[in-house]
Chain A
Amino acid sequence: MITDLISARSVIVCCGSGGVGKTTMAASIGLAAATVGRKVVVITVDPARRLGDALGLEHGLGADPARVVLPNEISGELWAMMLDPATELERVIRTTAVRPGQADEALANSFTQSISTSLGGTQEYMATEAVYRLTSDGEFDLVVVDTPPSDRAMAVVEAPDVLVKFLDHQVFKLLMGTGGRAARLLSAATQPLLRAVGRVIGSNVLNDVVEFLRAFTGMETSFRQRAITVQKMWRSDSTAFVLVATPTTESLNEISRFNEDLLSAGISSTALIANGATKGVAIDTEMLDHLPEPATEWLRWQSELAESERVVLNARSTDLPEVTMVGRLHEDVHDVDGLLQLADELVSTRSRKKLQ
């Protein structure tokens, strides 16, 4: 299943809760695609120092793609970058400004920089801008996206919808002063309320917000257009959503709820990776006879856990896609070789509807 994705798709989005190994999986998927000859960029949204180290990137992950040194026999290329919302916002403002000096004005606004980190949804929206940029300039065959933990990942998917809704909303037009007569009529009723909001949070804060929005006047058309393009991109056949979970009830329930959210947004996920599966050791009775009691007990414990994981995976929601199992690692991945092993496991593991 993963094998098909890495050779055919142009965007792969990895989703899952925190701590399930999503970033490492994204890097391995990227590497697997590079081994079949593609030019791949992996973009991670969370500060992932360890990923930078594992990829041998001297200066860590930056806001621009950096090329990863791979063994000679690999014909493709792997690049990696980390989303920096502030840099991305600046890029977007510079490319969408509609009059000279507007970009500088918008960037000079005291909120423009702070907003990229503190406005709920901005970071997620900037992720979609970055993915849009990377896919549309044609430099890469495949963009692998490592999303924030699943409680915020839907915000990435929905960011374009939220923006379009916001731009189309009466209150926004009113704040921008672009709403025409109807909005001005509305304004008579809403201004006192806005002032009341100002009393709660401080009127200086509210004035700054209005100033901030006005600095962007005229840019909304192109913001809107791109948002609509990204909406379509998430739902197109060349994009795949890969879910990452651990083989436990807790994690599978979580990913299943996330999958439902995806489905209601009109997106079906394509693969499910069960990461960190316990290797069941085949125990024969003769072997047990020769082992001291504690070691026997330990082996039984392992098998019991492996069996329990198997049961839990088989009982997973029928809405979830086929499972690819990835065994638990003995140590953290700390270099390209480690990632290559994982990549091998991802493409060689036969995915099964029912595990034996």
Chain B
Amino acid sequence: MLLILGKGGVGRTTTTALLAHGAHAAGLRVLVVAIDGKSSLHRLCPDRVDVRSVSAGSALEDYLLDQGFGNFARRLAQSGVIEVVGAAAPGIHDLVVLGKVKQFANAGQHDVVILDAPATGHATSMLSSVSGLLDIVEGGPIREQALDVQRLLMDADRCGAFVVSTAETTPVNESIELISAIRSIDVALAGAIVNAVEPDEMLVNLPDKERSRLPAEVAEVIDAATARHQQSRHNVGRLIDALNVGVKEVEKLPTADLNQDLIAKLATAAYGEPVS
């Protein structure tokens, strides 16, 4: 099981799709799980990869239904009481969501389950909520469930976190914070991806003579890009220092419309040609 983590806007969903392409191309049976649906993963993943969506709201209701509460669970959910109960045992929502994902992972129908987790803050609280819940709930089915999920999360052979970042300063700072948060909850780090790396290195050796011939406006844009490039290199260096796993860089393509084919291309660049 791979957990894809990162702050909003760094391309978590794109990375999830990229890894799905990579794993699919390597001949693995892949399941992609999105939390709270409405995601574009169906559009971006290979057609033959399973994509499922788990909703935090309905997961608790489903769980209570599984526990034999029947229609009462639905009524509780509609009244808002279930929300209050959920708050009384913080993390219960997160637990039932992770419980669902665990079910998928244990079903044995797939070789790898890739979870497109929520943005940074929520994702780490989601993972730590399991141990938080174990502190409050002393017995019963919820505790069993929490122990099960914790076993899977902490099993470095079966589960790993993948950190997604861009090369900009703030995302890298937040990714470094994220890395220590992941370490503190004993989830193994499986890797990191730096997304949308621009081809700015093309500019690095532009001679002053050439530069001086450019219209001021163009020269300004080029200077900014060169400065940005140096900053990016520095930031990626910091990210590599913070990790003891491989950091892969994925280039930015000159398009505002990433689709399945383009992501397949990026996956090939990162993970090699599909096996036949």
Q: Which residues of A contact B (CB under 8 A)?
A: 17-20, 50, 111, 114-115, 118-122, 149, 151, 162, 165-166, 169-172, 175, 190, 193, 196-197, 199-202, 205-206, 208-209, 212-213, 246-250, 253-254, 257, 279, 281, 287, 290-292, 294-295, 297-299, 301-302, 304-305, 308-309, 311-313, 330-332
Contacts and interface: CB of A to CB of B under 8 A. Distances in A.
Interface of B: 7-10, 13-14, 36, 38, 40, 56, 64, 67, 69, 72, 75-76, 78-81, 83-93, 118-119, 136-142, 168-170, 199-200, 202-203, 205-207, 210, 213-215, 217-218, 221-222, 224-225, 227-228, 254-259
Contacts of A305: 254-256
18 contacts: A118-B91, A151-B38, A196-B69, A200-B64, A202-B89, A202-B136, A205-B85, A206-B85, A208-B88, A247-B256, A249-B256, A250-B40, A281-B218, A295-B203, A295-B206, A297-B199, A308-B254, A311-B256
A312 B213 CA distance: 33
B218 A287 contact: yes
Contacts of A120: 56, 83, 86-87, 93
Closest 8 CB pairs of A and B: A19-B9, A18-B8, A119-B87, A19-B8, A166-B80, A294-B202, A304-B254, A330-B224
Contact of B88 (A20, A111, A175, A330): A111
Contacts of B200: 298
Contact of B79 (A170, A294, A304): A170
Contact of A312 (B75, B89, B257): B257
Contacts of B38: 151, 254, 257
Given A209-B88, A250-B13, A330 B227 contact: yes
A253 B40 contact: yes
A291 B76 contact: no
Given A292-B207, A295-B210, A308 B257 contact: yes
A200 B86 contact: no
Contact of A200 (B8, B141, B214, B217): B141
Contacts of B207: 292
A75 B72 CA distance: 59
Contacts, number: 180
A279 B221 contact: yes
Contacts of A201: 85, 88-89, 92, 137, 140, 142
B210 A119 contact: no
Contacts of B90: 114, 118
A312 B88 contact: no
Given A122-B87, A302-B221, A305-B256, A200 B227 contact: no
A208 B142 CA distance: 18
